[in-house]
A and B are shown apart, each in its own frame.
Chain A
Amino acid sequence: MARLLVQLKLRLLFNALRASTGAKVAFVLSTTLAALVAGGIFYLLSTLRGDGIAAADLTTVIFCAFGIAWLILPLVVFGLDSTMDPATLALYPLRTRPLAVGLLAASATGAWPAATLLGLLGVTVGLAHGALGVLIALLAVVLQVLFCITLARFVTTSLAGMLRSRRGKVSPSTAHPRRWRTESG
């Protein structure tokens, strides 16, 4: 199931890129930015090594900032991405657990989840001491990335539901041109 949904996500992404030049440009810019963020955060986190308590505090702040960014930015910057709206899958005979894992895997497929993962891995250099420390750091990074993705997914899906209901359609913050077109289609 996870593999199929990741394939579906990639197919949707590929088709969107093929359809318009604007989407291609946006994709290249977004991926470049993601790579810069990944590199920058990794560097920042790794240079904290040896700063003691300040390092721990700053790392905590950066981890929190990523959580908040994932909460807000997907809506503000990219608009509502309903490509993998679970409601589209409601007709299919899918069990909840494999579906949840599959959707999480599909959401994790992309430049920004990868950038978050790579950037936060800087903590293994900046804060971790010894093999056990690195192990815990790795675990923390993976959990943080999953948390960010789930959080973004939660916000997007709840807003997509609100948008679809007849009453929600006039809410100004959700008046996104692309959504209007698909709604009327």
Chain B
Amino acid sequence: MGEPAIAVRGLRKSFGPKEAVAGIDLDIAAGSLAGLVGPNGAGKTTSLSMMTGLLRPDGGRVLINGLDMWADPPAAKAVIGVVPAEARLFERLSGEELLEYAGRLRGMPASEARSRAAQLLGVLDLAEDAKRLVADYSTGMRKKAMLGCALIHNPSVLFLDEPLEGVDPVSADVIRRLLTRFVGSGSTVLFSSHVMELVEQVCDHVSIIDKGRIVATGTTDEVRNGKTLQQAFIDLVGSRANDEEVLSWLGSSSS
């Protein structure tokens, strides 16, 4: 195996006194479907934003196929696709226009962008809504449209932040199958999630992040270590429940 598709070295970011990401290292091999899991506020979105060129790190490096993201952002951004957690889309474009412009903004000729957009909308089950404005799309449809935008230039690495958050099971299945197929062709996917079952099912590589640090990383089986991922996660991150005595009034409605 050659150089990793994603290599992260000592990535750091603070917001004021709060250290959101406290120096993380990560290597994701080409062709893997990797999951980044962690509790809310662990630094998942911050890490992904820095890896995808959206948020400037305080320190550390991000290499995508050997291209340094923060030394030359346009060069590195050209080979990745990103589905951010918070949608920032051109609301007043129709679905097909959105994908077409996503392709053209990446330098594709208009005709090529249009034909790929039509194919992607078909696979994403959005063909019937292709002419509707993105502003009128549901959460699941928006996620699928964003995924289409992220794939139109056939990136070698795809980043997704909570791709299935708020998505109905049917759309989730469409997204999941597309990701699996994408990885099958040799491309790389890194996504964040806190749905352990999903990560356990689809990912061959898992990293657990907590309080801005990577606390476990490796193949899914290594990280699981014979347990369910859910249990391994709770063991590592620590159940924050201290509820036995404090909430003695909860649950008995007799008084």
Which residues from chain A sit less than 8 Å from chain B, CB to CB? 4, 8, 11-12, 15-16, 19, 83, 85, 87-95, 181-182, 185
Among residues 48 to 107 in chain B, which have CB atoms less than 8 Å away from a CB atom of chain A? Answer: 52-54, 73-78, 82, 84, 87-94, 97, 101-102, 104-106
Q: Once the chains bind, are B87 and A4 in contact (CB under 8 Å)?
A: no
Question: Contacts A11-B97, A15-B133, A185-B135 hold; do A92 and B106 have CB atoms under 8 A apart?
Answer: yes
CA of A39 to CA of B105 in the docked complex: distance in angstroms?
Answer: 37
Q: Once the chains bind, are B82 and A15 in contact (CB under 8 Å)?
A: no
Q: A88-B88, A94-B105 are in contact. List 9 more A-B contacts (CB 8 A).
A: A8-B90, A11-B97, A12-B90, A19-B92, A88-B89, A88-B90, A91-B77, A92-B102, A92-B106
Q: Once the chains bind, are A15 and B93 in contact (CB under 8 Å)?
A: yes
Interface residue tally for chain B (C-beta within 8 Å): 30
Q: Is B142 an interface residue (CB 8 A)?
A: yes
Contacts of A90 in B (CB 8 A): 53-54, 88
CA of A4 to CA of B101 in the docked complex: distance in angstroms?
Answer: 9
Q: Once the chains bind, are A92 and B105 in contact (CB under 8 Å)?
A: yes
Q: Which residue in chain B gives the minimum CB-CB distance to A23?
A: B92
Q: Once the chains bind, are B142 and A12 in contact (CB under 8 Å)?
A: no
Among residues 189 to 230 in chain B, which have CB atoms less than 8 Å away from a CB atom of chain A? Answer: none
Question: Contacts A4-B104, A182-B135, A185-B142 hold; do A93 and B77 have CB atoms under 8 A apart?
Answer: yes
| A11 touches which of B82, B93, B135 (Cβ 8 Å) | B93
CA of A41 to CA of B105 in the docked complex: distance in angstroms?
Answer: 38
Nearest-Cβ distance from residue A165 to partner chain B, whole angstroms? 11
Q: Which residue in chain B gives the minimum CB-CB distance to A84?
A: B90
Most chain A beta carbons < 10 A, residue from B76, B92, B106: B92
Q: Which residue in chain A gives the minimum CB-CB distance to B77?
A: A93
CA of A16 to CA of B104 in the docked complex: distance in angstroms?
Answer: 21
Q: Which residue in chain A gives the minimum CB-CB distance to B159?
A: A91
| B88 touches which of A15, A19, A87, A95 (Cβ 8 Å) | A87
Q: Once the chains bind, are A4 and B133 in contact (CB under 8 Å)?
A: no
CA of A89 to CA of B84 in the docked complex: distance in angstroms?
Answer: 13
Nearest-Cβ distance from residue A185 to partner chain B, whole angstroms? 7
Q: Once the chains bind, are A83 and B106 in contact (CB under 8 Å)?
A: no
Nearest-Cβ distance from residue A181 to partner chain B, whole angstroms? 8
Q: Which residue in chain B gives the minimum CB-CB distance to A13?
A: B92
Contacts of B75 in A (CB 8 A): 93
Q: Once the chains bind, are A89 and B105 in contact (CB under 8 Å)?
A: yes
Among residues 139 to 196 in chain B, which have CB atoms less than 8 Å away from a CB atom of chain A? Answer: 142, 150
CA of A185 to CA of B134 in the docked complex: distance in angstroms?
Answer: 10
Q: Which residue in chain A gives the minimum CB-CB distance to B79?
A: A93
Among residues 87 to 139 in chain B, which have CB atoms less than 8 Å away from a CB atom of chain A? Answer: 87-94, 97, 101-102, 104-106, 133, 135, 137
Nearest-Cβ distance from residue A22 to partner chain B, whole angstroms? 14
Q: Once the chains bind, are A15 and B94 in contact (CB under 8 Å)?
A: yes
CA of A15 to CA of B74 in the docked complex: distance in angstroms?
Answer: 30
Contacts of A91 in B (CB 8 A): 52-54, 77, 82, 84, 150
Q: Once the chains bind, are A8 and B133 in contact (CB under 8 Å)?
A: no
Q: Once the chains bind, are B93 and A93 in contact (CB under 8 Å)?
A: no
Q: Which residue in chain A gives the minimum CB-CB distance to B74?
A: A93
Q: Once the chains bind, are A83 and B78 in contact (CB under 8 Å)?
A: no
Contacts of A87 in B (CB 8 A): 88
Contacts of A89 in B (CB 8 A): 105
User: Can you list 20 A-B pairs with a CB-CB distance of less than 8 A?
Assistant: A8-B101, A11-B97, A12-B90, A15-B93, A15-B97, A15-B133, A19-B92, A83-B92, A88-B89, A89-B105, A91-B52, A91-B54, A91-B82, A91-B84, A92-B102, A92-B106, A93-B74, A93-B77, A93-B106, A182-B91
